[in-house]
Structures are given as C-alpha cells and as structure tokens.
C-alpha cells in the first residue's frame, strides 16, 4: 500500500482520514474524539444530538408543546444543547489537540439556528462544519461568522458549481474541503439527481475528476476533495492517492466507525453488522425528506415496500376506466377505481388491509387499522425535525408552516425511528442506516473472534492496510 501522508485541510496538516457524521445520536463526542486522537478528522453529528443530565445520563427528547411550532422550538433547543455537549466531549477525549468537525443536515429543522447555537456555545472547540442533504448556500456565511472552515457535501460537479457561483465564491478562504458523497455507495441520505438512475451505479472516479476540473476553474487546486461512500481499505483506492489529476484527496469512513468501542449503538446492532451479506443494504425512496437513502433491509423497510405496493389511483368522478365505485373512510365517501384495481383492493381487504389512506397524488394505500392509527398519531405528533416533511406536511416556513400538500402516509416519521434505534430500539422495527459495503464487516479478519477496536485502533489499522 502507498504511504499515507498528511495533507493540509482547514489550515492545518492532518491525516487524510475523516470520520463520517451519522445522526441521530450515532456519531457522538466519544467516536469523534477517539478518531481525532488517531490523527484524522473526527466528526460528531449535530442532528438531534444527545445531551446529558448532571449524572451523565442521556436526556431523552420528550416533547411537551401542544402545537407543532411549540414542539419545533423544543427540538431546536435540544439540538443546540446536544451539539454543545458532544463538542465538549470530543474536545476532552482528543486532549484538546484533535481536529473536530460537526455534521449537520441542511434540510433538518432549524438547521441554521442549531449550527449557530452550537458554534456559539462551543467556541474554539469545533474546527469545521460538514453539511449536506440539500443545497446549503448559507453554510459559508455561518462558517465565516464563527471563523471555522466549511465542508459542503455534494454528489456532482454541477451541484458544487451552483453553490460556488451563488455563495461560496465570496468566502473562499473558509472552504476547507469538498466532500464527494457517492450516491450509490454511501449510507444514509443520498444526493441522486432526477437525471440519475438509482439502479445504475456510476464509477466515482470520473465524477470526482470532473469535480476537480470544476474546482480548478475556480482556482481551488489545493482544496482537498474528500471521497465518501464505499471506502474500506485504502489499497483499493491506490490509483486515487497522489494522483496529480485528482489533486489532494482524503477519505471519509462513515460505516466502519459504527463498530468501535466508542460507538454508542447497541450491542445487538453491532452484532447485526457482522451478519450482513452483499445486497442487504437497500437504496430506497421512502424518506420523508424526498431524498433516496440507504439502509439495512429489515421488517421496517419491508413494510414500507409492501405499503407502497398496496396502492391504487382514484378519481372523484367517473373518468375513463375509473368507473368502479369504492367508499373511503367511515363515511364511505365515493371515489372511482378501475375494475381491475377494485379486485386488487378486495384481495388486500381480505388479508386485513382494510384502511384506505389518501396520498397527495390521488392514490389510496391500504394498511391495517393498527398501522393506520400509528401513521395518524405520528403525523399529529410531528415536531418539525425537517425543514419540510412530506410525511406530516410540516414546513418551518411562515406563515402557514405547511408544505401546502396533503400529508403522505407512504412515508414515515424519521425522527421517531432514528431516536428509537439510536437508544436501543428494536432493530427490525426501525430504520437502520448503513453504507453498501457494510457486509464487509463479516469477512474482514480485523473483526475476527469478536474483536471490536477503539476508534484510534481503527484509524491505525486503516493506515497500515490489511
């Protein structure tokens, strides 16, 4: 394996190994500080991060507000408090010398308020802000105001071009690096555009090369590109290292830090990672953000797939083939289906899926009464964890705080499931994010005989190769 030399990132020399931020409450101060002690860049998630009481116990995020707007204010307060707590722990664990970044999602509820609140409350402890899930035009302004570097997450040269021309070109001195997150390989939410096929992965090299060429047009020859998604062993990326066409390259590891001693995920989750097989991670479209995301195939995803398949289009008047009457809801309001679809509905109802729920696209999905009650309750309990949510129709923007669309029962409450799985919730009944290479835990000899490394040991192993 080629020697891995430090590179200059954010004004200092660091190993080109970056911990990928994973929220909710998964990449925390412990994993971040541990990774930073190895000489790389540690990252904690400021997405609904955990805070602690006086005894060091996690403060569970319980909401008391009667309205969504009130609960949204509670969520922002939790986010700021938790982010500060994680920044302090990362700083302490790294001995005050490690490189600490925080990760936020631009489409999370109150993203700018949370970012500014954490940076204000943890001044001097955070060196960089990594941000994706959307087009974070104001990220550069936040970084400049607090004197930290910013690291946008993008999935194409075109996206970076738009960000640079509209905003980043005015604050180039604070651009620490650009994270290229491969939309077919990375875990969590992915930046697939409408022109890209989720079922046809593209080679990341030409896409990153195009990004570098775009950056060179802007005079950013020496700004590192951080490759994220699909990185396991560095010798598999030797053509990228010290490649003059690509310029300075760093590598981000999001999935591998899940299986470390500092990782706060449950023991059951860690053991589940060791059993994954190729294809066990699914790129799927069900997120309430509207983005594709990659997660472990389990009962939770299977139910969403089945829920979306039990779907038929309807009209409110007889039109074309839609001539078969069907009554929806307790009052049996009349809609019209095709005769073929009416027969399918009869089969679903016979199997217990008797509740028809309307979607924003003039379709009906069919679920059990229990699932229908759960969906409605989750929609009512919304705390505005996203800037806009298709599941609950929440929007953080005035005056209506609504997307203007009907709440979509084909999705789910992402805050509820991520909080649950991060705090020892059932693995089969929750969303379990992971990158598509997670199956490699099972055949990697590093983890044989049940060995679980510290974050620092993982960094050292990555540096020495297989």
Q: Judge if 243 and 175 occupy the same domain.
A: yes
Flag whether 208 is in a domain. Answer: yes
382 and 459 within one domain: no
258 and 366 in a common domain: no
In a domain, 284, yes or no: no
**What pLDDT score was predicted for residue 408?**
97
Say whether both 225 and 140 belong to one domain: yes
Residue 202 lies in a domain: yes
Residues 185 and 311 placed together within one structural domain of the fold: no
In a domain, 412, yes or no: yes
Write down the pLDDT at residue 23: 83
Q: Is residue 311 part of a domain?
A: yes
**What is the distance between the alpha carbons of residues 363 and 411, in angstroms, rounded to a whole number?**
14
Are the beta carbons of 117 and 83 closer than 8 angstroms? yes
Query: According to DSSP H, which parts of 276-334 are helical?
Result: 299-309
Is 224 part of any domain?
yes
From the list 46, 130, 59, 57, the residue with the least C-alpha distance to 87 is 46
Same domain membership, residue 356 and residue 242: no
Residues 84 and 204 in one domain: yes
- pLDDT score recorded for residue 317: 95
Does a structural domain hold residue 429? no
* pLDDT at residue 189, rounded to an integer: 86
The CA-atom distances, in angstroms, between 449 and each of 269, 388, 439, 440, 455 are: 17, 45, 17, 15, 18
The predicted pLDDT at position 195 comes to: 80
Say how far apart CA 297 and CA 314 lie, in whole Å. 31
- Number of domains present in the structure of the chain: 2
> Angle 219-104-128 (CA atoms, 0-180°, nearest 5)?
50
390 shares a domain with 451: no
Instruction: Please tell me the predicted confidence (pLDDT) of residue 263.
Output: 96
pLDDT at 451: 92
Query: Within this chain, do residues 321 and 384 fall inside the same structural domain, yes or no?
Result: yes
For residues 52 and 132, state if they share a domain.
Answer: yes
pLDDT of the chain along its 466 residues, tens only? 777 889 999 999 999 999 998 988 899 999 999 999 999 999 999 999 999 999 989 999 999 999 999 999 999 999 999 999 999 999 999 999 999 999 999 999 999 999 999 999 999 999 999 998 888 989 999 999 999 999 999 999 999 999 999 999 999 999 999 999 999 999 988 888 778 888 899 999 999 999 999 999 999 999 999 999 999 999 999 999 999 999 999 999 999 999 999 999 999 999 999 999 999 999 999 999 998 999 999 999 999 999 999 999 999 999 999 999 999 988 999 999 999 999 999 999 999 999 999 999 999 999 999 999 999 999 999 999 999 999 999 999 989 999 999 999 999 999 999 999 999 999 999 999 999 999 999 999 999 888 999 999 999 999 998 7
Asked if residue 120 and residue 70 are part of one domain, the reply reads yes
Q: How far apart are CA 405 and CA 464, in angstroms?
A: 53
Task: Answer yes or no: do 203 and 106 share one domain.
Answer: yes
Q: Examine residue 272 and state whether it is found in any structural domain, yes or no.
A: no
Domain residues for 347? 299-422
Range list of H helices, 253-407? 267-273, 299-309, 339-350, 369-380
E strand or H helix at 79: helix 68-93
CATH number of the CATH domain containing 56 = 3.20.20.70
């Amino acid at each position: 394996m080629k020697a891995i030399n430090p590179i200059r990132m954010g004004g200092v020399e660091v190993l080109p190994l970056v911990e990928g931020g994973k929220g909710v409450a998964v990449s925390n101060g412990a994993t971040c500080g541990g990774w930073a002690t190895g000489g790389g860049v540690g990252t904690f998630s400021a997405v609904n991060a955990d805070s602690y009481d006086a005894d060091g116990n996690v403060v569970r995020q319980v909401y008391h507000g009667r309205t969504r707007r009130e609960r949204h204010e509670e969520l922002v307060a939790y986010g700021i408090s938790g982010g500060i707590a994680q920044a302090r722990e990362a700083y302490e664990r790294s001995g005050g010398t490690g490189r600490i970044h925080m990760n936020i999602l631009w489409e999370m509820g109150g993203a700018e308020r949370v970012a500014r609140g954490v940076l204000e409350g943890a001044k001097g402890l955070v060196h960089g802000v990594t941000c994706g899930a959307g087009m974070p035009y104001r990220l550069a302004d936040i970084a400049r105001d607090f004197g930290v570097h910013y690291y946008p997450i993008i999935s194409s040269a075109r996206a970076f071009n738009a960000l640079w021309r509209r905003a980043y070109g005015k604050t180039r001195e604070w651009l620490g690096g650009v994270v290229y997150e491969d939309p077919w390989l990375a875990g969590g939410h992915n930046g697939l555009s409408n022109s890209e096929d989720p079922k046809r992965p593209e080679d990341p090299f030409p896409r990153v090369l195009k990004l570098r060429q775009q950056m060179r047009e802007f005079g950013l020859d020496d700004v590192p590109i951080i490759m994220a998604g699909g990185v396991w062993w560095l010798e598999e990326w030797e053509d990228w290292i010290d490649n003059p066409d690509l310029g300075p390259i760093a590598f981000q590891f999001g999935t591998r830090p899940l299986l470390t001693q500092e990782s706060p995920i449950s023991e059951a989750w860690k053991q589940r990672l060791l059993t994954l097989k190729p294809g066990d991670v699914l790129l799927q479209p069900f997120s309430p953000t509207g983005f594709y995301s990659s997660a472990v195939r389990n009962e939770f995803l299977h139910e969403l797939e089945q829920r979306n398949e039990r779907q038929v289009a309807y009209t409110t008047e007889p039109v074309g083939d839609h001539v078969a009457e069907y009554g929806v809801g307790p009052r049996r309001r009349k809609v019209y289906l095709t005769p073929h679809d009416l027969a399918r509905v009869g089969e679903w109802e016979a199997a217990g899926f008797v509740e028809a729920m309307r979607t924003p696209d003039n379709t009906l999905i069919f679920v059990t009464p229990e699932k229908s009650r759960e969906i409605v309750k989750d929609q009512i309990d919304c705390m505005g964890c996203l800037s806009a949510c298709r599941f609950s129709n929440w929007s953080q923007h005035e005056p209506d705080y609504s997307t203007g669309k009907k709440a979509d029962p084909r999705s789910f409450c992402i805050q509820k499931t991520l909080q649950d799985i991060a705090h020892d919730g059932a693995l089969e009944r929750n969303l379990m994010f992971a990158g598509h290479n997670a199956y490699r835990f099972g055949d990697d000899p590093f983890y044989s005989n049940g060995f679980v490394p510290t974050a620092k040991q993982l960094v050292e192993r990555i540096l020495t190769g297989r």
